[in-house]
A and B are shown apart, each in its own frame.
Chain A
């Protein structure tokens, strides 16, 4: 397998982007990405587009909207999806392209225009990312699924609503420092704890946002990476794993087993372990998901995730800084773009370009992206030279 490096990153502004369409959002990220890489589009051999929902794009084959609008034809482009892990699956597909030798330089775009539909429809679309036949009839929503996980975790390990809120306070703090974040606003613990209940015990500030946005990266083979970039960031581990469609069929309700599997593969491939990770982006679609991610990735023991945030170990300066870009919670969660945005943050951190949010001299970073309720999870590990 050939080595693969990130050589360009481009992040669009996340938010309620009532000023732009899906293809226009994608263009912003692609333009920024080409500028960062310092190459014209004609030097890109192939492209992968991550868009999670036809229901949000309001049409079949939304990836064609993107390659047409950026003028990529007749070169290869196709779309991949895996609910909220779509962006990381697009990255993985790009890696497969480069590693196999099918292409030397690949553009990976993740984009979603979620506010094109009303909130109640978005809630329905997301709810059906579980089992649309056997779970949805009980009114399940995405917050609902993670609330089921939260209540199980609280009952088994004594995790508290305060600990959940602490995740939100942290991520909002870092989001306030991220100009691309949807909600650049600090919040207090009290505000998080007194916000209205979305799905018991999850409250408004436990939930990520319905967001529009795009993110793009360019990845390249070793030979091309060394020519294009002064600071290539190598993708040294790539794990992907799956689990049952229904929560009820899982072996555990307090862990995302596909995340454990994907992490195991990625750590093994990279030849590193959890204690080697200097900075991480994890899938905090809900605050409980970040706590479960700490445990699944081995940043702490099973059941100790609540204590890890309570001890502020996941802040910059702590044992393992997590989601110091604001996470899905504050940065927003345009589902197709999220995984690509995670790769951008890790690349920025490893390049030392994260400004006020910069972790001190990191060498190895990790991105953890969960699709649905854990039906598919991708974990990537990045390393600077």
Chain B
């Protein structure tokens, strides 16, 4: 056991020495790993932030039916109550609408300059979840044929679209992660191959005088693992920096829509997952490069 620790300690100290002896090469490689890792992490954080907002929105499609002043509310209510496509029907008289608006804006005398309440009566309809979008459009058209109906607004259609866009984003993220993971394995494999080439003589002599394959492999694996973890940290740093730089502008945009919203910064879980992933991918690249090289010795 002591022997085993000694061999690993030796490999680790040599690896750290080698990394510190070539600071520029090390930093360049860390930057590459960091950039590669920051891209999917940034995309992930964007999606979770936007997804968090979307989750708070009503996902059941809502229709708001604005009525003309002469509309027959009673008949319409009876008709809507019979419609199987609707889960809920709520009548909002124009006085209630005005009160809601006043409390939202914070002003008690909106009617100050007006002779009467300009808001229309309205029905807020919630369709059943399983009603397809095409059926909702038909319902909208039906309602418009009623002489008492002024306009119909499909309220939550955009929320559904947002949800679909986020789902698309998640798929895109998977593709990006997959491609960049392959890139990371190749980049690290190549970097380790270069390290092997500069130490080819040492490897040859070591093999000739009785080094096991693991003895040869160990420093390269340590090198890849250390660079993977540091590169992962760099990636989180890059993503956090980019988000911190973007957030004031994002906040202003969201405020213009009356929503408090900021992109999330990477937390400890993201940090751990990114570092573990980059470490494993770098290890895989190193393992492959060393395996290829060691194959040539008996």
Task: Judge: A and B partners, yes or no.
Answer: no
